[in-house]
Structure 1
Amino acid sequence: MELFTRIIAKSKDIFYKLGAGDSIMVKPFGMQRTKSAVSGNASIISGGSTIFGLGVRARARIWDSCKTGIVAFPPIAAVIFLSVMLMNQASTALSTTNNLNTYLTLAIQLNQLASVLQKERGISCAYMTRVDDVKINNLERQIVGKQLISYQNLTDLTLESIGDEPWAEVISNNSALANASTLRTALQDFRDSMVNATGIDAITFYTPLIEALIYNSGRVFFETKEGRFWGAFNALRLIQYAGEAFGTKRAFGGTFIAQGSLSEEHLLTYILVIDEMNEKILKNESFGSDLDRARFAIYWFNNITLFMDRVVNPAREFLNQKMSLKLNGQSSDSYTVLWTTISTILASLLICAPIIAYLSVQTNRMHKKIREKMQELQMEKTRSELLLYPMLPKSIAKSLKLGHLVLPKTYNEATVYFSDIKGFTIISSTSTPLEIVQLLNDLYITMDNVLDGYNCYKVETIGDAYMVVSGIPKICGYDHLSEICTMALHMLREVSNMVIPHRPSQQLKLRIGVNTGTCAAGIVGLKMPRYCLFGDTVNTASRMESTGIEMRIQLSENTTDHLKRHFKGQFEFVERGMMEIKGKGLMCTYWLLGKQGFNFRVDA
């Protein structure tokens, strides 16, 4: 803990100096150490005037650039934001206006179609009333039929002038108005059946179609979010309904006049509704000749048609023109606002782009330099951690880095492993130092690679001695027994194929000892702290190794009992017998021969 306190204190000193304008002089890893603490500090902290490669003047320039950017950014952002809002509003208004223009055009076409259908309905009522009378003559038929054909042709021409768009965009909920073809077919079917129909049938057929056209011509306007033209739209709609009322009156009047008298059904209806009726109507007397009635029916039809053409239709046209002018004006205003907004945004970008570009370049340069220095600092930190983790377990090292106090701790159950090279003293005396280093390096690389596959911690290596523990500092239940024993078998398997590098004919042989029991563990030392184990369990494990023989794994009785109890039938071992253990007296030990499912076995 004191070590990390000193490291933190030195780090604070470094950054205090950085705040005063000093810098970190990064050196290669192999050159970090110097002959003295003074020279070491001098190599780390220099009296320069830069921070991460940036001088005081550079910092001032960067700060000025940042201030310029900070000052310039809010108004630029505000202008762009407001311009985008205005452009969005103008675009929305323009889209709405264009849609309303489109709908108005469609509504005008549908109103024209409704108007000609009203005329065809009225003359059809007059014609079918005369056809229903068996006393009519050819002259009467020609008078009414000629005008009927002219209005039917007018309806067909109007229907042909309307494209497919109104039917797809406006008409709904009426099968006869699905498209121009279905309406044309419905009209032709009714015209073909006029000989057997009455005036009431004509009213019943035409009226729903006309009402649907009037309703749908105004429906889309009331479904839009635009509210400035609702009054004009509603007035136009009411005028259409007024025209429809006149058209219905024209049809019924033409039917009555053409018939010359009321039917009994209508007569009874009028009597029930109206208290006082005209004496002539009560007598139900026919007036005039058949020819006069036919001519008067045509006169009635033309008279009401003239009234509608002089009063209703001009009012409708006036409203259509007024709305078209307003919509066109609104569309022009929307285009003006839209292009003005776009011009404002472009001008803002053209003016502000060089400033922003300059600030961005300067900022990027600064960030690049900072990143480079931070990377160098991170590399040094990583190197420090690489040096720290081999000395201490990762969990302990992380706790120390976080500033936690790591106290010595006693572990109730742990398994300790010791191994050494058989005859290492003789080999060392007959080999050069470099040969010994090469030998140990090859051996430890192999053993470290094996150790990586198990939940074990390499405590230390002293000469040819290799010490490993499982269950410390990470507690793993009774798995530490299986981990150490399996690892020991794995070690023997790997070493069984190794030879002494400078003596290829001589095989490398290990002695291994294992013991299980209670251990104490803690950090020892300041300059080079080590995580050490203490206790009788460690001493016994060392005796198991020193009293063993080459290429064998000697287990203590305690380890064997735990294997029998917790891993019954998984490990194979044989009793060696009673052995005189220094400091312990007689102890019963065992040879570990193998493990079930592991492809290596020691000969008994």
Structure 2
Amino acid sequence: MTNSKPNQHNVSEGEDTSLRSLSSEDVSQAPRGYCCAKSNNPADGRGRKLHLFQMLSLPFIPIFALIVQTSFLLNTIMNTRHEVMEIESQVTKAEDLGKVVTRLQLERFDVAFYVYTESHHQRTNVTKRFQLTDDALQNMSSWPLVSLIRDGKIVYLNKTTFQENLKEFRENLSKNETKMNDVLNWYTAVNAAMLEHLTSEIKETDNSGVWRFLLSFKNLLKSIENIGISSVYGVNYFGKGKLRSEYYEKFIRHDAIAKDLLNTSLNYVVKMRSDYEQFSRSMPNYGKIKYQTDIIIQNKNRTPNYNESLVYFEAIAGYTDELRRLQRDLRITIREYVDENLQEAASREAIGIATLVGVLAVSPVIIWLVRNAVATIQLYAANLAKKAKELKREKKKSDFLLFQMLPPSVATQLKQTRQVPAEYYASVTIYFSDIVGFTEIAAVSTPLEVVTFLNKIYKLFDARIECYDVYKVETIGDSYMVASGLPVKNGNKHVTEIASMALDLLAGSTQFKIPHRKSERLQIRSGAHTGPVVAGIVGSKMPRYCLFGDTVNTASRMESTGEASKIHISLEMKKALDSIGGYRTEHRGLVEVKGKGLLDTYWLTCKEGGMNRTVEMETPAYFQEDEDNEPVFIKRLRSDTYY
């Protein structure tokens, strides 16, 4: 026998789903694990203080988060500004170093020309060029690690020793003790050390984006450096008519490096490419430089021509002067870019500080406003809680009565959607019973005795069907109608549920004594049938859950054509029981059924392997009655203390 209580379970579930409102009383009675689990009513007493604290904490959390976020943002802005200031220092060092490298390149150019012409010609005043280089060296804020090779050893020079060596080198020039190769090697080594230091000073991953300009600046310096080196070998070619293989190799290498570095520099800064293309179109000797460079690359023997070497030298000098003009413009662009970043960082820092001060100033005002709002809400909540409690009490009354009249699932759906469409059930089992001789008993009894009699027998039946997955459809007079398999489908269990229930009700009825006729025993006539039905809500006033279909009529005919203290079942139900097993039946034979003709029917006798229950079950408390025969659940509806 199934020991489930679906009706009670569904009633409680229906109550939960039907009550959509939440009052302060609900919160104060919340189970463990809720935020107000210690019965603190937010509308009164200690709970009110706790609720006030929670509501004040609510705006404080985002305010605190905003303060923390603003502080972190301000810290980030200050770090960014610090980085930009470091970049400014880096740019200053790069500019100073770039000026020195440029001065040394120009000095090398003029000294090479001076040495090549054997002190007969000066492209510019060499003494003045020396002074410009010395001024650039004097203005340097930091000094790189410069290393030179002397007598096969590496010698590291500080600023003072470097200036002394530079002075000594220049004095040798005036004594005509320096050759072209020595000039080239000296300045190349010095500039290489300077450019190496410049490369190490430039950070390629700073957040400002100035690294692109610095790399372009560095590559342009290196390109000019390699152009200057290659031009010395070019002058040598035109002056001597042939380059030795080692000099030719150096010319090719430095010329290729210069072009590659120049192209890289122009790619980093787009504006420089347009400026370069403009001056290359306007420069008179630009095409001649390319032509003479191609001649040098071929390295064919030719007649030495002193004038042609001078023309080449002047053309290269003009070209490098234009590149240095681009370099100066780039230096100005870098300075403007850094200044703009500094101004932006300062502005962001000021905005961050103002935001933080504003948040700190507004926070107390917000908390004070929230406190006033919460106090007003709590006052309103106290009144609302009282009304909600009254509403909840009335709602429970109406829900309790509704679930007595309709299946809980159907009642819940009716409340939520205001309509319950009829539903077809392919297989359910319906049970009918009535009291044998009820008409005679009612004829010799008072109305109060009849009501008392029916109340007691139906309480017994109602208590027993609670143990089965069935639904009590209705009672009309002495007729008792029960169905299984609806409104919640249960597979093929409906057959066994009705069979077990029918045997249980029959066993219980044999022990029942008629209250006002103690000598007489109750006899019921039962019938059941299995088949399809359609179920739905009928009516808008006092709606009822009704079943329709031939199955209902057949089950009713099984009861009306049955016999006292027996359970009359149809062939369909007998086959369903046989497929499941566990029940005994007896063949009754063909019975004339009104509207159906002859039907082959059976008696349901008992369960296999067990005895039927013959003792009375304890009647649930909510069906007990007092002296005035009023059911207890009616008294509960009238009592406010129950809620």
Q: TM-score, normalised by structure 1?
A: 0.45
Q: TM-score, normalised by structure 2?
A: 0.43
